[in-house]
Structure 1
Amino acid sequence: MSDAHFWFTEYQNNNLSIGLRIKQIIHSEKTDFQTLDVVETVEYGRLLVLDGCVMTTDKDEFVYHEMLSHVPMHTHPNPKKVLVVGGGDGGVIREIIKHPSVEKAVLAEIDGRVIEASKTYFPHIASGLSDPRVDVQVTDGIKYVEDHPNEFDIILIDSTDPIGPAVGLFAKDFYQSVHRALKDDGIMVAQTESPFANAKLISSVYKDVSEVFPQTHLYLAFVPTYPTGMWSFTMGSKKYDPNAVTECRVSGTKYYTNAVHKGALALPPFVQELTR
């Protein structure tokens, strides 16, 4: 199908949607876990869509992947072993391995078809998956975390929206498992949706993480194709404060800098309210 008059619409809730004019549907399938589509758009290039929700796009993927990765990777002084739960497109892995301290990066993705589709249709995002330091595990990330106590310096939760197979990734008992899987100075970060569209979720996650970790920090980035554009990330840290970061240790980023790192942690008052 190829016709510039077709549109892809993501219904972000009962009252909000985003529409993008499409050139063609490149790929569509029903995996064991979800529907998976790859769509070519006029404005944002290719979209990876899971269960009708935009996961990533050619044009703005770097914002999300850099900010989920580099804020915690710079907060930890020497991250050697990192786990990504979800994130089958490989974008977070690509950013993690830019850090020379990394000796091993594990991807625990429940749906192997997301990994394979990303390799085929988003090779620039999935490029890091072939790095020899990367261990790709097609497995339930919750179970993987439970089975690997005291092993990781950083755990990043690159989940889909809190529906379907990702629901358990937003639960307090999962954050407790993550805490156990981290070393004594470990850090976790989870993507936690939009302050405008998902305020209650952010407050709930922040409260849960605060009850598990000595330090909890919320920070923001701006991803145009995600609901409302403003996106949040919640960090739980056993020791290190992200506000103490003073330098950028990687090159070639398109969004992340040391100044952006500090600015992302400076929350507007209405977002601060979600952490109280």
Structure 2
Amino acid sequence: MELWFTEKQTQSFGITAKIKRTLHTERTPYQKLDMLETEEFGNMLLLDGMVMTTERDEFVYHEMVAHPALNTHPNPEEVLVVGGGDGGVVREILKHDKVKHVTLVDIDGKVIEYSKQYLPSIAGKLEDPRVTVLVDDGFMYIAKAKQQFDVIMVDSTEPVGPAVHLFEKGFYQGIYEALKPEGIFVAQTDNPWFKADLIRKVQQDVREIFPITRLYVANIPTYPSGLWTFTMGSKTYDPLQVQKDEIPAIETKYYTPELHFAAFALPKFVLDLVK
């Protein structure tokens, strides 16, 4: 008998993967957590039935959250990650020598615990001495921080459950206040095929707060539609004004200095969402 998992990405569309075995399943205080071993994508983390990350394609998402912002800010010493309990964004941040300290705040400690156990290639840097891991509400943590961080990265689930407040204008205003005067933030903002209204709203909200707002894209096979967007808000620095020869050489699988700029060249139907 074959075992398959299907994520219903809309009411009439989904993706499916053949499963070798279930590694762990648990209902945490915040969400349903499943860790599966798949035939095609290795170990896979699910939250509330949605694919969060897999061993095979995780590098795309984590690199594209971290590197465009860190290579836009000239001196990103203090970095905050909201969500991201799997540790992949932290791993990528630590590739930058200028970063002195990373704070990760995730509301669900079980995500951190089981990522360390079943996704060690992703979560392996959470024990690094430059990293502080807090199990806390990222929304409330942001609300209390004032001009504390150079870069803030929001690595959240889709806007359901505990992450719903992380897509509100008040949260982006809090991020603005938590950033230093030259600060930058980036957030994953879902896909343009099924969540066009969400992208349009986020762009409008961020533009009303940040003087520089950019949308960029990446291809992530296990995320709804495969085409994923990220929104960057900056107080001072424009990612399109970075000097390519000043982008440091780091080990990556997806991000390159050329892709830094190409990712902001949007398909027409996506460009229409930000106009």
On whether the aligned pair clears a TM of 0.5, the verdict is yes
Conserved? CA contact 1:111–1:139, under 8 Å: yes
Q: What is the rounded CA distance, in whole Å, between the counterparts of 2:252 and 2:39 in structure 1? A: 25
Aligned position for 1:11: 8
> What SS does the corresponding residue of 1:59 show, helix, strand or coil?
coil
Aligned position for 1:265: 264
Q: What is the rounded CA distance, in whole Å, between the counterparts of 1:218 and 1:111 in structure 2? A: 28
Q: What code does the residue aligned with 1:32 have?
A: P
Matched, 1:174 2:171: yes
Conserved? CA contact 1:98–1:250, under 8 Å: no
Picking from 129, 142, 165, the partner of 2:162 is: 165
Supply the RMSD in Å over aligned alpha carbons: 0.7
Matched, 1:237 2:234: yes
Show the 5 A alignment for 1:1-276. Answer: 5-245=2-242, 246=244, 247-276=246-275
Q: What is the rounded CA distance, in whole Å, between the counterparts of 1:64 and 1:250 in structure 2? A: 19
Q: What is the rounded CA distance, in whole Å, between the counterparts of 1:129 and 1:249 in structure 2? A: 23
Q: Deviations over 1:10-69 (max 9, x none)?
A: 011112100001111111011010010001111111110000000000100000000000
Quote the offset at 1:250 in angstroms: 3.9
> What SS does the corresponding residue of 1:75 show, helix, strand or coil?
coil
Q: What is the rounded CA distance, in whole Å, between the counterparts of 2:156 and 2:273 in structure 1? A: 21
Conserved? CA contact 1:68–1:189, under 8 Å: yes
Identity among equivalent positions (%) equals 55
Conserved? CA contact 1:99–1:250, under 8 Å: no
> What SS does the corresponding residue of 1:251 show, helix, strand or coil?
coil
Quote the offset at 1:191 in angstroms: 0.1
Q: What code does the residue aligned with 1:124 have?
A: S
Q: TM-score, normalising length from structure 2?
A: 0.98
Provide the aligned length of Structure 1 versus Structure 2.
Answer: 273
Q: Deviations over 1:191-232 (max 9, x none)?
A: 000011111100000000000100100000000000010000
Gapped runs of 5+ residues in structure 1?
none
Q: What is the rounded CA distance, in whole Å, between the counterparts of 1:270 and 1:179 in structure 2? A: 29
Quote the offset at 1:244 in angstroms: 1.5
Quote the offset at 1:248 in angstroms: 2.8
